[in-house]
Amino acid sequence: MSVENAGAPHFPFPYQPYPIQEQFMQALYGALEHGKVGIFESPTGTGKSLSLICGALSWLRDHEEKRRQEADRLLQGDGGTSLSISSSLSTTTSSTPPSSSAEPDWITDFVQKKAERDFVSKLKDEELRRKKREEHLEMIRNNSQLKYALKRKVEHNIIILLYDLLEEHVTKVYLGFLGYFSYVEFCPWSTPLSVCVFARVFHQIYYCSRTHSQLAQFVHEVQKSPFSQDISLVPLGSRQNMCVNEEVRRLGSVQRINDRCMEMQKNKHVEGGKRKRGAPKAVCPYVGAQGLQTLRDTVLGAVRDIEQLLSLARETRSCPYYATRLAIPPAQLVVLPYQTVLHEGTRRASGVQLKGQVLIIDEAHNLSDVLSCIHSSELTGAQLCRAHSQLAQYSERYRSRLKAKNLMYIKQILFVVEGLVRVLGGKLTFPSLCLPVTELLTINNFLFKAQIDNINLFKVTTTTTRSQPQHTAIGTEIGEGIDGFYDTLSVPLSLSPVESPPGQQGAAEERELAASPMMQVEGFFMALTNANTDGRVVLHTQGNVAVSSMKFLLLNPAVHFSQVLKDCRAVIIAGGTMQPVSDFKQELLFSAGVGAERIIEFSCGHVIPPENILPIVLCSGPSGQELEFTFQNRDTPHMMEETGRVLSNLCNVVPGGVVCFFPSYDYSRRILENWDASGVLARLSSKKKIFQEPKKANQVEKVLNEFSHVAFWKDSLLFSVVGGKMSEGINFSDDLGRCIVMVGMPYPNIKSPELKEKMAYLDKNLPHSGGRSPGQALIENLCMKAVNQSIGRAIRHREDYACIVLCDRRYSRPATLAKLPDWIRAHTHTHTSFGPAFASLRRVIHTHLQWIIHTHYVCRAHAL
């Protein structure tokens, strides 16, 4: 089915779309057409992914068709060609000021005609490349003559050169007309037909989300869409997720996998060139040119998620990590995780080009936090010591083979690392103790304290990025060798007066050894190149230098998002719960230089009927105790017992599963201990089987599966935590979540040094509005975003129903209610006493139970 309105675009859809889906696609189409930054909110269960797919790909289809028609019009053979070309050229050169000196007419005519000939030549080249690309993709999809791309065999050193180009600086040839942007990647084995496959398409859509499972779900939606047979889609992932070499995968750590992969590519380059003395080094058998090219074509030929791609790669013994990067330029839709697109260095290394393209950021409710996290960096004393020792050994061993310039850069890096160690309490001359303290510094003050303010960190960062030894040779050829540098510290690690807690020392050492220290140091150097006002450095010094740490905290995420917004034709920021958006726009868009005229907002309701949801703000409990879980009174016995009575009454009438969210793990532990001592927990367990969210991530799936099984056959109660493992990305549909209970308001810890500094930064740099400071608004928004994510776990489809109970009278404040999603706020009822609230909840539950019983008997009668 499709949507067809007068003057509206045509949207292919796998089924008759809901009205809100039609509105969503119309708004999305308009945003892409006019180059907007769109904030789109669509509740989970409303088909947001399909709406994004069909709306965006419909625009891409129509936009490419308009480009083709424009090109055909300019290349037509009638008398209007010169006029059309002249008109197009005048639009591209209108900004050029006219020459002050008058030229003869014959010179002007000659220049004009030459420009027209050049323009037509470029236009024909682009059209030829486009047609060849489409023919080649069609050949791949029909699975015919696939071996055509394997005409030439490449030497190993050439393929490694290609990898270096992809990782560092892709050789580009720019061709432009009518706003088109394309480039040809350097490919030694390219035939005339395979060259067109490397040509970047005119427009691409980049879709990114938080996790690989969410990306896989999106790809499955594309496979179900009407575009599945016509779109060329490439899924990207990290080496950890895409490596098929079991020897490398067993390393586990992301850094160790990256280091080993790059080392094996370097070994292949050496093996393919001049062989050195000694035993042959390990190379990866999955990076053959023929296999990569075949897998690249297969990726472009059909829509596959990463799991399907990995299975195919194992069969063909080809590397999916490099094959997918070879497939980026001709792909129409690229699916990739946040890190790959939001971090400039990773984006450049992956071959992702955002200039003039469309970017869709899904699950973007925490986009500001994600940007801050991606561009923050942390170093421990142990990592600094290992990095210094390894680099010093490298410099000593290869001193005679290093150029004087490179040796100077290595000494600079060593000097900076020594300064960082001194900041953590390590002394190279005389012993002293490191007293436990937390200190927060500006970037400049930190550089002064470390005595490295005279070092050009931009140059040092460039050196560490371009040079390979610190990534591979140091850790493998030279060895760890950290004892020599540890001995120079004032507090030797083996003689530290403060020992690591039992059970934590081994885990900490394992994490340290798992990651390449120079990669971490490089990341911290890069963080220190931010502007002084955009970040802070937090020092945590303890009695042991090894466990002391320094962390760079990014305060202004807009500084790294601004380039993305500038490069992209359009950016779509989508999520199920985007509220509140006012401060989000101020912090991330306006601060990045985006004008209000470029921003559009779209928010739609849910597909469920109004009677299927009952949000309640509960101001008091059954005994009349006022419910206000402030820090001062939430631990009182009266408040805890009243909360237990509220939950007991709810469990009496709500069938299936009840999910109760507490503001923190610590408060969850305290209130459950109180209930266990007072007998409340026993009363609850007599009505429903009780489950509790575990702290360890590897136990979450087991608890969730048990809860789901019990809730399907019997009533169950799950105690969870806001911001925990089960508050985001978990589906509590149908009987898994007939009632969501939110105990208190999960405000963040305002005593945190990092949060205090963030609030101070916002108060200083953002405008005040509504009688509150931007810092206060941040606290409220963090709280309500967490609440919205938690209560959004229920009601996942049209026939679903649930009750949402907000247990705290502070939810009744108009400013707080305004931060709830529209589709929840519109139906929210505030009750000052427990009786009316309980009656309305029981009435809704009874109505739906009667409807279920009626439906059961009708279906049974039809069956008989």
pLDDT digits (tens, 9 = 90+) for 357-398: 999 999 898 899 999 999 999 999 888 988 888 888 888 888
The per-residue pLDDT for 265 is 81
Query: How large is the average pLDDT for residues 643-669?
Result: 93
The per-residue pLDDT for 605 is 84
State the DSSP H helix or E strand holding residue 409, giving kind and residue range, or none if neither: helix 404-423
The per-residue pLDDT for 516 is 62
Q: Would the pLDDT of 498 be above 70?
A: no
Spatial distance between the Cα atoms of 440 and 245, rounded to a whole number of angstroms = 43
Q: Would the pLDDT of 133 be above 80?
A: no
Spatial distance between the Cα atoms of 544 and 632, rounded to a whole number of angstroms = 36
Bond from prior residue into 610 cis (ω within 30 degrees of 0): no
**Residue 564 corresponds to which amino acid?**
V
pTM, entire model: 0.82
Among the listed residues 646, 22, 157, the one whose alpha carbon sits nearest the alpha carbon of residue 8: 22
CB 62 within 8 A of CB 9: yes
CB 216 within 8 A of CB 346: no
The per-residue pLDDT for 78 is 47
Choice among 492-496, 516-520, 627-631 with the minimum mean pLDDT: 492-496
What φ, ψ does residue 370 adopt, rounded to 5°?
-65, -45
Spatial distance between the Cα atoms of 199 and 332, rounded to a whole number of angstroms = 12
Q: Would the pLDDT of 734 be above 80?
A: yes
Among the listed residues 354, 239, 242, the one whose alpha carbon sits nearest the alpha carbon of residue 305: 242
Q: Cβ–Cβ contacts within 10 Å for residue 355, how many?
A: 11
For residue 428, name the pLDDT band (cuts at 50, 70, 90): very low
For residue 589, name the pLDDT band (cuts at 50, 70, 90): very high
Q: Cβ–Cβ contacts within 10 Å for residue 807, how many?
A: 26
* Ordered alpha helix ranges (H), 234-380: 239-242, 246-249, 254-272, 289-301, 306-316, 320-326, 338-342, 344-350, 367-374
pLDDT digits 0-9 by tens, 4-50 = 344 568 898 988 898 999 999 999 999 999 999 999 999 877 889 99
Q: Residue 715 contacts by C-beta under 8 Å, 6 or more apart in sequence?
A: 651, 655, 656, 657, 658, 687, 688, 689
The proportion of the chain whose per-residue pLDDT surpasses 90, expressed as a percent, equals 41
Q: Would the pLDDT of 152 be above 70?
A: no
Q: Would the pLDDT of 598 be above 70?
A: yes
Spatial distance between the Cα atoms of 645 and 297, rounded to a whole number of angstroms = 63
Q: Would the pLDDT of 600 be above 60?
A: yes
Spatial distance between the Cα atoms of 52 and 24, rounded to a whole number of angstroms = 8
Q: Is 83 exposed, middle or buried (0-12, 13-18, 19+ CB in 10 A)?
A: exposed
What is the rounded radius of gyration, in angstroms, for the C-alpha atoms of the chain? Answer: 31
The per-residue pLDDT for 496 is 36
Cα 643 from chain centre: 37
Q: Would the pLDDT of 864 be above 50?
A: no
The per-residue pLDDT for 185 is 33
Checking DSSP bridges between strand 829-831 and strand 613-618, what pairing results, if any? Answer: parallel
Q: Is 37 helix (H, G, I), strand (E, B) or coil?
A: strand
Q: Would the pLDDT of 192 be above 60?
A: no
427: tokens are 């002394």
Query: Burial letters for 702-715: b for 16+ Cβ neighbours within 10 Å, e otherwise?
Result: ebbeebbebbeeeb
DSSP 632: T
410: tokens are 């290595």
Query: How large is the average pLDDT for residues 116-130?
Result: 74
The per-residue pLDDT for 451 is 92
The proportion of the chain whose per-residue pLDDT surpasses 70, expressed as a percent, equals 77
Query: How large is the average pLDDT for residues 99-109?
Result: 67
The per-residue pLDDT for 366 is 87
For residue 280, name the pLDDT band (cuts at 50, 70, 90): low
Spatial distance between the Cα atoms of 333 and 836, rounded to a whole number of angstroms = 52
Q: List C-alpha distances in Å: 483 to 52, 386, 507, 509, 550.
A: 55, 9, 20, 14, 22
Q: Cβ–Cβ contacts within 10 Å for residue 339, how many?
A: 16
User: Best-predicted range by mean pLDDT among 37-41, 184-188, 601-605?
Assistant: 37-41
Mean pLDDT of the chain: 79
Q: When comparing pLDDT for 754 and 4, which is higher?
A: 754
Q: Would the pLDDT of 163 be above 50?
A: no
Spatial distance between the Cα atoms of 132 and 190, rounded to a whole number of angstroms = 14
The per-residue pLDDT for 212 is 85
The per-residue pLDDT for 151 is 40
Q: List C-alpha distances in Å: 334 to 315, 341, 566, 594, 636.
A: 23, 11, 19, 25, 53
β-bridge mates for residue 691, sequence order: 718
Q: List C-alpha distances in Å: 204 to 75, 153, 256.
A: 25, 30, 33
Q: List C-alpha distances in Å: 368 to 202, 245, 554, 587, 601.
A: 30, 35, 10, 8, 17
The per-residue pLDDT for 335 is 96
Spatial distance between the Cα atoms of 431 and 153, rounded to a whole number of angstroms = 62
Spatial distance between the Cα atoms of 656 and 711, rounded to a whole number of angstroms = 5
pLDDT digits 0-9 by tens, 282-294 = 788 888 888 888 8
Q: Cβ–Cβ contacts within 10 Å for residue 679, how many?
A: 10
Please report, to the nearest 10 degrees, the dihedral formed by the alpha carbons of residues 136, 142, 147, 150 taken in order: 30
pLDDT digits 0-9 by tens, 234-279 = 999 989 889 999 989 888 778 888 888 888 887 765 555 555 555 5
Per-position DSSP letters for 779-843, written without gaps between them: HHHHHHHHHHHHHTTS--STT--EEEEEE-GGGGSHHHHTTS-HHHHTT-EEESSHHHHHHHHHH
For residue 850, name the pLDDT band (cuts at 50, 70, 90): low
Interhelix angle 680-687/637-653, nearest 10 degrees: 10
Among the listed residues 640, 646, 651, 652, the one whose alpha carbon sits nearest the alpha carbon of residue 623: 646
Q: Residue 639 contacts by C-beta under 8 Å, 6 or more apart in sequence?
A: 625, 627, 629, 633
The per-residue pLDDT for 699 is 84
Spatial distance between the Cα atoms of 152 and 159, rounded to a whole number of angstroms = 12
The per-residue pLDDT for 541 is 86
pLDDT digits 0-9 by tens, 452-477 = 999 888 888 776 655 544 343 333 33
Q: Is 280 exposed, middle or buried (0-12, 13-18, 19+ CB in 10 A)?
A: exposed
The per-residue pLDDT for 276 is 53
499: tokens are 């020992």
Cα 664 from chain centre: 25
Choice among 454-463, 509-518, 731-740 with the minimum mean pLDDT: 509-518
Q: Would the pLDDT of 181 be above 50?
A: no
* Maximum CA extent, the chain: 101
The per-residue pLDDT for 466 is 54
Give the number of C-alpha atoms closer than 13 A to the C-alpha of residue 762, restricted to the C-beta side.
Answer: 23
Among the listed residues 718, 670, 675, the one whose alpha carbon sits nearest the alpha carbon of residue 693: 718
For residue 557, name the pLDDT band (cuts at 50, 70, 90): very high
